[in-house]
Amino acid sequence: MSSYLCAIGTANPPHRIPQLQIADFMAGALQLDEAGTRKLRALYRVSGIGQRYTVLPDYGRTNGSYEFFANTPDLEPFPSVGQRMAEYRRQALPLSVQAAQDCLSQVPEVAMGSITHLITVSCTGMYAPGLDIELVAALQLPSHVQRTCVNFMGCYAAVNALKLADAFCRANEEARVLVVCTELCTLHFQKSTEEDHLVSNALFGDGSAAVLVQARPRVVGPSLALTAFHCGLEPDGHADMAWHINDFGFEMTLSSYVPRMIKQGIGRLTAGLLADLPVQLADIRAFAIHPGGRKILESIEQALGLTTHDNRFAYQVLRDYGNMSSATVLFVMRELLRTLTPADTGAPVLSFAFGPGLTLEAMLLTVAWGAEPPLEIQHNAEQLKNAAILPA
């Protein structure tokens, strides 16, 4: 029995800020001189990012009229972890609700009351009672819905959530699993000129993605069967990608060696995923790769012989949203789903995501296509016809 990813909904905060405008904010906040500002703007220009979304309007301002940061030249006193978590708690729920509603609006045959499992994913904020319980109330899910939280795993966490959803559906063919990944990365800006912090400040944005997984495909339109998973670790990268809670937010370590390590390990990861499957890399024409950064995408292309066209969905998401941690790979899958047609039925899709550890996650998905209206929709249409609301 397979499980199927049947719909993907997304949401972003209202503040969409061009990348170079964020660079100007950063240069001011770090009090860089002219040479430092020039180097910082060059870093932002080559990032492959055109704009990012944030819950904080401050990143689009350079005149000191800030709402979250202090209105001082050096932003002191700098926001504490407590202040950042309070903002996370205020902002995460409405964004998550928007993504979940967008997801379920695509499958009108699925009622909120039929959701059996809720999985929430985040590495950028935590509190209890948490986002999972608040979502139950906000979405009017059954109070007995089974809740699971996947916290603090970083950019690959959506893959672990899909593994859980797959297991739930294989154990119970009536399971309907709602996965919600919400990341407010921009809350954790670090006022530091260390290379790791400069790079992470240049990459991350805010967003939420929700997916519905169930034991049968959609009856209308495309679904993605969750065919296989494989996890790899590159222990040499243990210190090169990390995520720590410190006094002034969560601090990201993202060294320049990460693309090289992913390049070294991606071939083994792919071989391990496909080892027992009747699929070879040469058979795969569709890819949904987490855009951890432009250099990471280029390294994967070099290692696997892919083209920028193969990776076009990842580049599109990187350009339009930046890296939104766990939600990002689901944004990439959404862009891929939009391009599928019935002719793609049975086509394999290869997906990767990466995070602390250095962890490399791989998924193989298979395109499924439904063409019959759901029984619920047929029934509703028949009722409307009988009421003379629709023409016969």
> Residue 235: is the preceding peptide bond cis (ω within 30°)?
no
| Torsion (CA) 312, 314, 319, 325 in degrees, nearest 10 | 180
CA 229 to chain centroid, in Å, comes to 17
Compute the Cα dihedral for 251, 160, 276, 344 and give only its sign.
negative
What is the distance between the alpha carbons of residues 302 and 318, in angstroms, rounded to a whole number? 18
Adjacent-strand bridge partners of 231: 361
Question: Coil, strand or helix: which one is 122?
Answer: strand
Tokens of 350: 């290869």
What is the distance between the alpha carbons of residues 351 and 319, in angstroms, rounded to a whole number? 19
Active site residues: 155
- C-beta separation of 300 from 181 below 8 A: no
Name the DSSP class of 323.
B
What is the distance between the alpha carbons of residues 190 and 199, in angstroms, rounded to a whole number? 11
What is the distance between the alpha carbons of residues 23 and 26, in angstroms, rounded to a whole number? 5
What is the distance between the alpha carbons of residues 12 and 18, in angstroms, rounded to a whole number? 15
The CA distances from residue 173 to 104, 137, 165, 224, 225, in Å, are 19, 25, 12, 16, 14
Of 126, 16, 36, 25, the C-alpha closest to 68 is 25
- C-beta separation of 59 from 17 below 8 A: yes
Q: Any residues with CB less than 8 A from the CB of 343 and at least 6 apart, and which? A: none
What is the distance between the alpha carbons of residues 246 and 252, in angstroms, rounded to a whole number? 10
Of 206, 151, 153, 218, the C-alpha closest to 361 is 153
Work out the number of other CB atoms within 10 angstroms of the CB of residue 136: 18
Largest CA distance in the chain: 74
